[in-house]
């Protein structure tokens, strides 16, 4: 698939089919993620792979309980918070696989580097017929020390971008974008 086509067609997928992603496919996605540029080529990312619908449903329930208690006004003000309080909502959209991109301690911009890796992963997934959705709502829960310990994340490893992956149940409608805003444009010929 052409890069531009993939960029324009990728959508956040929130309804997945029952088909399971295989480990070799996850490996391909991680290799694509690791092709991202990074400051000083430090490649300060590490990936936690969490697979299994039952496991992710359970994580969703626990993450929602935590979400409702975080005091960060960014979460409190989000109108979707009521939705996330509902027992029927799975914040991982009932996907079977979650790739949690974690930042390793590094100079410069490890978090930004991880987001670039995440975009690579999502575009590659789209090119492979998969759907993805970043789940920022799960980030605070994954950052709890006890959850990092439960998952066995190495010390210093900071979860920054959870991304669910699976086969889309159907096409996802386009999501409109604003025209790029030009803050300034100085162009000497
Ligand atoms: C950092 C980040 C966090 C996000 N968190 C969530 C989330 O918790 N749940 C969700 O359903 N979508 C989440 N999204 C997906 C956005 O809602 C989505 O990308 C946006 O609405 C644009 O739609 P599109 O990706 O289909 O173009 C997140 C996206 C980003 C970049």
Looking at residue 87, its pLDDT comes to 73
- How many A from CA of 12 to the centre of ligand 1? 6
Report which secondary-structure segment, H or E, holds 78.
none
Whose Cα sits closest to atom 7 in ligand 1?
135
Query: Residue 153: inside a domain, yes or no?
Result: yes
Helices (H), the chain: 3-9, 23-33, 53-67, 73-76, 81-85, 110-127, 139-142, 145-151
Cβ of 81 closer than 6 Å to ligand 1, yes or no, is: no
Domain count, the chain: 1
Nearest CA to ligand 1 atom 18: 12
Q: What is the pLDDT of residues 106-122, one digit of tens each?
A: 889 999 999 999 999 99
Range of the domain at 147: 3-166
Question: Is residue 15 one of the residues assigned to a domain?
Answer: yes
Residue 178, domain member (yes or no): no
Helix, strand and coil content of the chain, in percent to the nearest 5, comes to: 40, 15, 45
Q: 97-103 and 45-51: which strand pairing?
A: antiparallel
Q: Residue 86: what pLDDT?
A: 72
Residues facing 166 on adjacent strands: 131
Specify the DSSP class assigned to residue 129. Answer: T
d(CA 103, CA 11): 24
- Is the pLDDT reported for residue 76 higher than 70? no
What is residue 167's predicted lDDT score, i.e. its pLDDT?
98
15 within ligand 1 shell (Cβ under 6 A): no
- pLDDT tens digit sequence for 36-55: 999 999 999 999 999 999 99
Statement: residue 68 has pLDDT above 90: no
Contacts of 127 (CB under 8 A, 6+ apart): 1, 6
Is residue 188, in this structure, part of any structural domain at all? no
pLDDT at 178: 97
How far apart are the CA of 11 and the centre of ligand 1, in A?
A: 9
Residue with the smallest CA separation from ligand 1 atom 30 is: 134
List the CATH number of the domain containing 45.
Answer: 3.40.109.10
Residue 176 is assigned to a structural domain of this protein:
no
Question: CB of 137 closer than 6 A to ligand 1?
Answer: yes
């Amino acid at each position: 698939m052409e890069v531009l086509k993939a960029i324009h067609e990728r959508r956040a997928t929130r309804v997945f089919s029952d088909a399971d992603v295989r480990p070799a496919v996850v490996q391909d996605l991680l290799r694509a993620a690791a092709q991202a540029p990074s400051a000083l080529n430090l490649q300060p990312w590490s990936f936690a792979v969490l697979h299994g619908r039952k496991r992710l449903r359970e994580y969703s329930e626990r993450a929602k309980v935590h979400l409702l208690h975080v005091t960060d006004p960014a979460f409190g003000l989000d109108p979707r918070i009521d939705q996330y309080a509902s027992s029927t909502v799975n914040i991982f959209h009932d996907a079977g696989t979650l790739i949690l991109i974690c930042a390793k301690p590094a100079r410069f911009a490890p978090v930004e580097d991880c987001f670039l890796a995440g975009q690579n992963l999502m575009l590659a997934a789209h090119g492979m017929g998969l759907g993805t959705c970043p789940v920022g709502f799960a980030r605070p829960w994954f950052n709890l020390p006890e959850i990092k310990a439960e998952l066995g994340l190495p010390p210093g490893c900071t979860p920054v971008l959870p991304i669910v992956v699976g086969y889309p149940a159907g096409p996802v409608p386009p999501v409109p974008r604003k025209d790029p805003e030009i803050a300034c444009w100085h162009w000497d010929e």
